[in-house]
Amino acid sequence: MGNAARRSISRANRFSSSSSSLSNTTAGAELITGDGEYLMNISIGTPPFPVVAIADTGSDIIWTQCKPCADCYKQDAPLFDPNSSATYRTAPCQSKPCVSLAHDGSFCSPKGDVCQYQVRYGDGSHTSGDVAVDTLTLGLTNAAAGYVAFPNIVIGCGHDSSGTFSPKASGIIGLGGGPGSLITQMGPSIGGKFSYCMVPYFEAPEHTSSTMNFGQNAVVSGNGVVTSPFSSSAVVPTFYMLQLDSVSVGSTNIPFKSASLGGSGNIVIDSGTTLTLVPTDFLAQMSAAFESQVNGTKATDPQGLLSPCYVADSTLKYVPPVTAHFKGGDVALRPYNVLVPMSDTVVCLAFYGLDEISIYGNIAQQNFLVGYDLLKQTVSFKPTDCTKN
């Protein structure tokens, strides 16, 4: 969790600097809890080769480590071999697939014949390799229909990747709003709709999974749904930006203001960031309100990152309710959305102070069915037991 917290901060540094013939498709993929991230099961190539990668609404490019790999981080699963796929082909320079990843760092190889990509992250991690197209396969949520294949999906085939990436993941599946993301490439076949339900890291058995849905099955409806409009930034079209008006901690309401990225929203909702990142002055007010109402024994974060912290035992008798007041409705958070274990005996407020950008991270989204409708430009939240989703 300490590594995941550091990756959250690193991602924020990167943020601040930086078609299928099918129709009416209802597809799904297994979503698995990882080391501070959520991993998505897909397949690439023909025949389909299973790939497990981070589901990330805060980025666009789809990339996985590939053979041969000159300098790759160690991953648990086998590497994807493009030579074993009948439908894999590299993208020429100036081709449409190459241009679609221009925002993600595509460029022409030194020889001038193959399009390549390079992505560097704030913590020094990086990935680079060839831009290619191949078939991407998902499992249908209607079990009787089997699987659905999306041909000609633009991917990054990484031949040089290293850093703090989890060995459980072979890459990243970008679910953002930019031209290179999986959502954009699926196009009208899913009607601009997808949803996920994140099982809490520490409240459910290890490796408990849920389902990420695409298409009509991704519609979030029923009692308790809160729907908030999102906007996209002309500067960074990847991000889904919500308008957070304030946060209540018990009886204290704290107005929320954050730096703008060029859209009308003030906080990015991101499945790939663990912590919720907020301006430092707002965090100071929130922490003070929390400390004044909580009933527990104070402690120190052994990782030296988060504060306030408390001993995770029977002395922690009361945690004040925390509610995020978005434009469109209020999202009531549970204790596991607010406090994160940083050791076996210490829990800390799962918020970190950063002035450059604000991010609504995945801890705050756990046990909510979160649905995106790109046509209506809305994000919906519904309290849900994600172990049953």
Q: Which two tokens stand for residue 96?
A: 């449409």
Q: Can 330 be counted among the known catalytic residues?
A: no
- 3-state secondary structure at position 291: helix
Distance of alpha carbon 16 from alpha carbon 39, whole angstroms: 24
Task: List phi, psi (to 5°) of 98.
Answer: -65, -45
Q: How many residues does the chain have?
A: 389
| CB within 8 Å of 102: residues ≥ 6 apart | none
Q: Can 56 be counted among the known catalytic residues?
A: yes
User: Which candidate in 56, 104, 134, 373 is catalytic?
Assistant: 56
Q: Which of 267, 259, 260, 272 shows the shortest CA–CA distance to 241?
A: 267
Cβ 306 vs Cβ 298: under 8 Å: no
- In whole angstroms, how far apart are CA 350 and each of 222, 342, 347? 29, 10, 9
User: Which candidate in 60, 270, 301, 373 is catalytic?
Assistant: 270
User: Would the CA dihedral through 299, 300, 306, 312 be positive or negative?
Assistant: negative
User: Would the CA dihedral through 178, 181, 182, 187 be positive or negative?
Assistant: positive
Cβ 222 vs Cβ 383: under 8 Å: no
- 3-state secondary structure at position 79: coil
Classify 163 in phi/psi space as left (phi over 0), alpha (psi -120 to 50) or beta. Answer: left
Q: Which of 248, 246, 270, 250 shows the shortest CA–CA distance to 258?
A: 246
Helical H segments across 324-368, by residue range: 335-338
Task: List phi, psi (to 5°) of 360.
Answer: -90, 100
Distance of alpha carbon 288 from alpha carbon 328, whole angstroms: 27
Question: What single-letter DSSP state applies at residue 78?
Answer: P
Distance of alpha carbon 337 from alpha carbon 352, whole angstroms: 14
**Active site residue ranges:** 56, 270
